[in-house]
């Protein structure tokens, strides 16, 4: 299994410098990762760095809390695509879901999907560590109904990351028509393989190089 092709090589920490981000881009090209995932302010730089490679550009939106307004998320997503993003990882409004404001959650996701149109893939981060199983199921169903292409476990900035059980539940809920991205706490090849075997079709990690080299990584935020 060529795990590299499933990995969004990720750098989302607040103190990431342009030098740090360039290093991640160089690693992505060297190891043939699927994409580089960054905060939206870095998209234009990353797009330039990856211009002559096969590596895609992924931007997080409403990150990491998901509590931005619907309009702000839609604009941020649209602008990221203009700057060169191919994929959008938006954070669902978690408080709205837990408040049973299903219509708001739907409109929040739909606004981002419509803002990028056919120009980008949309993944919805549901932050599984903050949800009960029935809420995870509901979040996945809403994301699917709103036209998203993927559901994703975690930001990597909350209380826990991806689990095999959550991936299995998400895959069972969305079926085969959507992608499932496992992210948060994936730091070695064995865990990455378990996520893919459980039904994930993408992995989000900052320990990507160590994963593909088979080296255990120390704990970090993603």
**Active site (catalytic) residues:** 89, 152, 181
Please name the helix (run of DSSP H) or strand (run of DSSP E) that holds residue 211, with its range, or none. Answer: helix 208-213
Tell me which residue has tokens 């998320």. 73
Given a contact cutoff of 8 angstroms between Cβ atoms, the answer to whether 124 and 92 are in contact is yes
95: number of Cβ within 10 Å: 14
Q: What residue has token string 């990995």?
A: 7
Q: What tokens appear for 137 in the block?
A: 């199921």
Q: How many CB atoms lie within 10 A of CB 113?
A: 20
Q: What secondary structure letter does DSSP report for 32?
A: T
**Alpha-helical runs (H) found in 59-186:** 70-83, 94-98, 102-116, 133-145, 164-174
């Amino acid at each position: 299994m060529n795990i590299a092709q499933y990995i969004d090589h990720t750098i989302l920490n607040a103190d990431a410098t342009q030098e740090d981000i360039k290093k991640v881009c160089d690693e992505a090209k060297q190891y043939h990762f699927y994409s580089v995932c960054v905060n939206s302010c870095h998209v234009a730089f990353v797009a330039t760095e990856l211009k002559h490679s096969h590596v895609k550009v992924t931007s997080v939106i409403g990150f990491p809390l998901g509590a931005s307004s619907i309009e702000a998320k839609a604009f941020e997503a649209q602008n990221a695509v203009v700057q060169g993003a191919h994929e959008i990882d938006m954070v669902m409004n978690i408080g709205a879901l837990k408040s049973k404001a299903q219509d708001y959650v739907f409109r929040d996701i739909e606004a981002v999907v419509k803002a990028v149109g056919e120009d980008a893939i949309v993944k919805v981060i549901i932050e599984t560590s903050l949800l009960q199983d029935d809420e995870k199921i509901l979040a996945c169903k809403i994301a699917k109904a709103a036209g998203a292409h993927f559901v994703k476990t975690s930001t990597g900035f909350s209380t826990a990351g991806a689990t095999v059980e959550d991936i299995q539940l998400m895959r069972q809920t969305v079926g085969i028509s959507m992608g499932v991205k496992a992210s948060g706490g994936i730091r070695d090849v064995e865990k990455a393989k378990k996520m893919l075997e459980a039904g994930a079709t993408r992995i989000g990690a900052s320990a990507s190089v160590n994963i593909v080299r088979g080296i255990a990584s120390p704990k970090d935020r993603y």
